[in-house]
Amino acid sequence: MLSYLLDNHTNVVFHLLPFSSSADYKLLIVAIFSTIYLLGIILNAVVIAVICLDAHLHFPMYLFFSNLSVIDICYSTVVVPKLLHILLSGNGLVSFTQCFTQMYFFFMAASAEVILFFIMGYDRYVAICHPLHYPQILSMRNSTIIMDIMWICAFINSSFFIIPLLNLTYDGVVGLHQFFCDAITVFNSSRGGTNEFYIVICFECVLFGLCPFFCNVLSYIKIFCVIACIKSREARRKTFSTCSSHLIVMMIYYSTGGSHFMSSFYHAEPLLNQVLSMFYSTVVPMINPLVYSLRNNEIKKALQRLWKVK
């Protein structure tokens, strides 16, 4: 079905207009994005390698960490290489198939990350509030199955989100004031928009936005209640430190992602929208491994062990 819908728009071309068209800024933008991209790839690859190579980290929580790093690599790789090509070549034209392929994998990564943050919040809830049942509820086998289901749901949901956009009508050359094919920017540039996409947006906001967010909020309310009942101050600090990384990353993700969504949907200034998109799609994937590696003692110890072995 997707290939049939793509064939019906072979004459449509998208023209990406990233940031400033002035040549004075292009080299600076290329340098900034190249640095962010390389740092993000290296840091996330190190996290994945350390977790895979160190047997001490073969536990559900670190399995979730490694999947988050995979998602962050997907985010950056879907967006940045094409942007660098556009800036260096000066050719911002993107075919309809290329644009929708980029949107598909970008939204697949976004869907997987939302699901993963919910799973990681539940992991911390079970570990702190029901520690005796943790080995049965979140064993490595169960956690691996959960990760498989997460990726399957992400791929299916991305298709569900993209199909309404394929049914819209577009002019021959569609100008996008964005540095990648953002779904809402593409929708705003279409002709004869239907209510179908608004229904999908509402569904996505509830199922992949509000529901996971409020479930995480409820989990942390219960976690904080349990921590407050611990008498030892040092024990409270250690218990809270096990979930602080997830809490920080989740807050960064929801704040930047929510700002990006609101600016895109309500026609904010193109430059503002692109700056928010930059944080959401490139900067946050670079920050995530820094937060986890700097705040997690086990990962730092694993790095030291691997360094000594080498």
Contact by Cβ (8 Å): 231, 137: no
Q: What is the pLDDT of residue 24?
A: 63
Q: What is the pLDDT of residue 170?
A: 81
Is 210's pLDDT higher than 50? Answer: yes
Q: Is the dihedral of CA 106, 109, 112, 114 positive or negative?
A: negative
pLDDT tens-digit map of 127-150: 998 888 999 999 999 999 999 999
pLDDT band at 102 (very low <50, low <70, confident <90, very high): very high
Is 4's pLDDT higher than 50? Answer: no
**Separation CA 170–CA 13 (nearest Å):** 9
DSSP letter, residue 168: S
Left (φ > 0), alpha (ψ -120 to 50) or beta: where does 19 sit? left
Contact by Cβ (8 Å): 150, 112: yes
**Separation CA 229–CA 87 (nearest Å):** 56
pLDDT tens-digit map of 266-295: 666 777 778 888 888 888 888 888 887 767
**Separation CA 65–CA 69 (nearest Å):** 6
N-to-C CA span, the chain = 51
The residue that leads in pLDDT, 39 or 300, is 39
Q: What is the pLDDT of residue 104?
A: 93
Left (φ > 0), alpha (ψ -120 to 50) or beta: where does 101 sit? alpha
Considering the entire predicted model, what is its pTM? 0.89
Q: How many CA atoms lie within 13 A of 141 on its CB side?
A: 3
Quote the mean pLDDT of the chain: 83
Is 8's pLDDT higher than 60? Answer: no
Report the DSSP beta bridge partners of residue 13. 95, 173
Is 96's pLDDT higher than 90? Answer: no
pLDDT band at 304 (very low <50, low <70, confident <90, very high): confident
